[in-house]
């Protein structure tokens, strides 16, 4: 009696084990798991870790566990966000309900944002050209450009009045770009420090 119930228990455990292990390997390939863990750990040393992880986790299969690809991907997602925000702002600045002062602020901000987009583009271009022989010089350029992009984002968002609806909406988006840029800079700096 006792031995047959313990046999049942063993069979049940074996079945549980098989179901769990097969569903785990089906849903989450271990390479992706390693990558998302790597992204989470790397993001934890940035100023905005949650935003960092949220914006990068879906690129885990591309990033794998490479600090260089992580820095590259963080520039990519920041550029994409800056470009899409610019497009929306351009539309907003042309809408008939826009007050002249708001339209001016929007115009100034768009110029800053366009500088920021150029700096991110240049950085992404250089990221693809890094070699052992030019590492320090290239990283220096990238760090300079991404810092400049961060300054441009901040100047842009500071131009908006907080007490208007459009001002609040646009500021929120620009602040998000600034935070993503700050995170990209942190990931670039930690990649650079690996070679120091
Ligand atoms: C960055 O974007 C470029 C161009 O869209 C793409 O080819 C590259 O794979 C991306 N790299 C990463 C690491 O996300």
Using one digit for the tens of pLDDT, what is the confidence trace for 141-186?
999 999 999 999 999 888 777 777 778 888 899 999 999 999 999 9
**Ligand 1 mean position to 173 CA, how many Å?**
23
Residue 63 has pLDDT above 70, yes or no: yes
CA distance 36 to 33: 5
Pick the atom of ligand 1 nearest to 70's CA.
13
Please tell me the residue having the least CA distance from ligand 1 atom 10. 73
- pTM listed for this prediction: 0.83
54 three-state secondary structure:
helix
Q: At what angle do helices 67-93 and 100-127 cross, to 10 degrees?
A: 160
Token pair 């441009």 is found at: 152
- Higher-confidence position of 148 and 23: 148
Percent of the chain with pLDDT over 90: 63
Using one digit for the tens of pLDDT, what is the confidence trace for 128-142?
999 999 999 999 999
Pick the atom of ligand 1 nearest to 62's CA.
13
- Nearest CA to 76 among 120, 138, 130? 120
**Ligand 1 mean position to 81 CA, how many Å?**
14
Q: Would you kindly state where each structural domain of the chain is located, as residue ranges?
A: 28-193
Q: What is the pLDDT of residue 102?
A: 84
* CATH H-level, domain 28-193: superfamily: Invertase/pectin methylesterase inhibitor family protein (1.20.140.40)
CA distance 53 to 42: 9
Q: Which two tokens stand for residue 169?
A: 């909406």
Q: What phi and psi values does residue 97 have, to the nearest 5 degrees?
A: -75, 0
Residue 16 has pLDDT above 90, yes or no: no
CA distance 109 to 169: 13
**Ligand 1 mean position to 125 CA, how many Å?**
10
**Ligand 1 mean position to 27 CA, how many Å?**
25
Residue 1 has pLDDT above 50, yes or no: no
DSSP H or E segment with residue 167: helix 165-194
Burial code (b: 16+ CB inside 10 Å, e: under 16) for 158-179 equals ebbeeeeebbeebbebbebbbb
């Amino acid at each position: 009696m006792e031995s047959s119930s313990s046999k049942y228990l063993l069979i049940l455990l074996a079945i549980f084990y098989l179901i769990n292990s097969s569903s785990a390997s089906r849903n989450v390939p271990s390479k992706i798991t390693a990558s998302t863990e790597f992204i989470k750990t790397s993001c934890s040393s940035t100023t905005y870790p949650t935003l960092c992880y949220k914006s990068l986790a879906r690129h885990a299969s591309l990033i794998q566990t490479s600090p260089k690809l992580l820095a590259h991907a963080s520039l990519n997602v920041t550029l994409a966000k800056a470009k899409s925000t610019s497009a929306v702002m351009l539309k907003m600045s042309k809408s008939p309900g826009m007050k002249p002062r708001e339209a001016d602020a929007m115009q100034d901000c768009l110029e800053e944002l366009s500088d920021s987009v150029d700096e991110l583009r240049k950085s992404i271009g250089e990221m693809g050209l890094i070699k052992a022989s030019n590492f320090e010089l290239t990283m220096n350029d990238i760090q300079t450009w991404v810092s400049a992009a961060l300054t441009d984002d901040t100047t842009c968002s500071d131009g908006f009045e907080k007490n208007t609806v459009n001002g609040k909406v646009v500021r929120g988006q620009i602040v998000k770009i600034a935070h993503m840029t700050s995170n990209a800079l942190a990931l670039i700096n930690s990649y650079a420090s690996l070679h120091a």
